[in-house]
Each structure stands twice: as C-alpha cells, then as structure tokens.
C-alpha cells in the first residue's frame, strides 16, 4: 500500500482522477473527507481534500488532528501538502510556486496537538526545521525534472483566517521575515511531526498579499490564478520520486 499522501487545499480538488476511495478512521473526530487513491506518474498516493468535498470547511474549522491521525492509521509515512498562499515578497508573483523551509504560526484557538491531556504522552517535538529535508529535496528535484520554475526557500506565515489580512498585518509579517502567507499550514505541519510523518509543503502564490497592490484581492482572481498554477503542480508531482 502506498505510504505517500497529498493534502490538497484551495484549487487542488480536481488535481487528479481518483481510482478508488477509502474512509479515514480516527479517534480525533471527523476527517475532512474520504481519501482518493490517485496516480502521480508512476507513483501512487492518497489524496485528501483538506477543505472537504465539496470545498466547504474554513481553515480554522478543519479537523487537522483527525486528518493527520487518519492518514497515519492508513499507513502513510510521507505527506506533501499543497497550499494556496498570498505573496508577501513582491518578487513572488501570482502563479509562482514556493517550497518553504520555515514557518511562523500566527493562528490561535485551533486544536493543535495530540499531546493534549493527561492520557496522551506529553511530547515536546523538535520543530526547528518544520519541513522534512529529504521530502523538500524530492519536491525540488521533481520541479527540475518537470521544468517547473520555483522558489527553493521561503518563510510561510500562517494566519487564522478565514478573512484576509490587513495591510498593516502584512507589513508586520514582512518585518518578521515571512515571504508568503496562508491559513492552513498550521497546526497541520506540527501534527505531522508529532505523528512521526515526514511533511513538506508546495505553495502556489494566488495573489499579492494585502496592501501590496491598489486593487482588492478577489476570490475570482485567486481561483483563476490557482487553476493555472495547479496544472504546474500536477506536472511537478508526476515527476516526484519518493
């Protein structure tokens, strides 16, 4: 059985054709959706729609614990996460792909740990490098093989959402050293670490972050950009060797 999973977010729902489906089982409540078995080139992977199918669960309501626990129980060992993000660094134009190497967590009130009560083992997981090195390398190699240009580093700010940020918030995230901003990277990344699963993220810049441009950010424009970016994401994943 395949040990690789792809968790897809906004814009990634129709990325692959499903060849089968499986319910996820978890002691942490309801996962977002059943997983679909998909082919990535010659590799197989489980695909999980993070926001549910249809797309309906907002970032702060996703049951990240059930999703990660469910994948672990299925035998998954490695997770590639697809995240739509805003570009804080002005050089990161819409459509650009980024493989982040760092993150800063600005979320609050999310069920963010398995280590959560007296019954669960108390863990203080090592998290200096939140994304797993070999899996990041596999993504970068796949990008090269597919001829897909991408940014090989970046610090992802994870905000609470579901609203977009204010210009002042984005200015602060830039001062903090963040180059991209999304809403779903945490607690997913940390839970994967707690569960002992390798995890790396492939981000698609959907829009310039708030305040970088005069025009307001619209969902319609985000969807238009992501539709094109996801074609590149699919080409890249088809060259993935893990």
Interacting residues with ligand HPA (CB under 6 A): 84-86, 159, 164-165, 181-183, 206-207, 209, 222
Question: Are 156 and 84 spatial neighbours (Cβ–Cβ below 8 Å)?
Answer: no
Sole residue written with tokens 């441009």:
213
Helices 219-237/133-146 angle, 10° precision: 90
State the DSSP code for 6. Answer: E
Is the CB of 37 or the CB of 217 nearer to ligand HPA?
A: 217
Least separation in angstroms between CB 201 and ligand HPA: 13
Least separation in angstroms between CB 210 and ligand HPA: 6
How do 97-98 and 150-151 pair as beta strands? parallel
Least separation in angstroms between CB 84 and ligand HPA: 4
Least separation in angstroms between CB 234 and ligand HPA: 19
List, in sequence order, every residue forming a beta bridge with 198; answer none if it has no partner: 78
| Residue-by-residue DSSP string for 134-190 | HHHHHHHHHHHHHT--EES--EEEE---SSPPPHHHHHHHHHTT-SEEESSSTTHHH
The residue with its CB nearest to ligand HPA is 86
Question: Are 86 and 218 spatial neighbours (Cβ–Cβ below 8 Å)?
Answer: no
Is the CB of 124 or the CB of 175 nearer to ligand HPA?
A: 175
Is the CB of 126 or the CB of 215 nearer to ligand HPA?
A: 215
Is the CB of 201 or the CB of 242 nearer to ligand HPA?
A: 201
Collapse the DSSP code of 47 into the 3-class scheme (helix H, G, I; strand E, B; otherwise coil) and give the result.
strand
Is the CB of 116 or the CB of 213 nearer to ligand HPA?
A: 213
Is the CB of 207 or the CB of 242 nearer to ligand HPA?
A: 207
Least separation in angstroms between CB 236 and ligand HPA: 19
Least separation in angstroms between CB 50 and ligand HPA: 12
């Amino acid at each position: 059985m395949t040990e690789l999973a792809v968790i897809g977010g906004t814009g990634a729902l129709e990325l692959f054709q499903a060849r089968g489906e499986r319910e996820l089982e978890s002691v942490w409540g309801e996962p977002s959706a059943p997983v679909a078995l998909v082919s990535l080139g010659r590799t197989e992977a489980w695909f999980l729609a993070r926001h549910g199918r249809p797309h309906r669960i907002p970032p702060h309501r996703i049951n990240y614990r059930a999703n990660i626990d469910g994948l672990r129980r299925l035998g998954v060992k490695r997770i590639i996460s697809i995240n739509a993000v805003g570009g804080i660094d002005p050089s990161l134009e819409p459509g650009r792909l980024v493989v982040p190497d760092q993150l800063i967590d600005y979320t609050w009130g999310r069920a963010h740990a398995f280590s959560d009560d007296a019954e669960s083992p108390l863990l203080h997981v090592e998290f200096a490098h939140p994304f797993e090195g070999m899996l990041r390398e596999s993504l970068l190699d796949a990008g090269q093989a597919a001829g897909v240009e991408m940014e090989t580093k970046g610090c992802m700010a994870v905000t609470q959402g579901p609203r977009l940020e204010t210009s002042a918030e984005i200015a602060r995230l830039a001062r903090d050293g963040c180059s991209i901003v999304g809403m779903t990277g945490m607690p997913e990344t940390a839970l994967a670490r707690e569960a002992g699963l390798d995890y790396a993220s492939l981000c698609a810049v959907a829009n310039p972050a708030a305040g970088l441009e005069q025009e307001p950010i619209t969902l319609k424009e985000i969807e238009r950009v992501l539709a094109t970016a996801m074609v590149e994401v699919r080409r890249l994943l088809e060259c993935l060797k893990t």
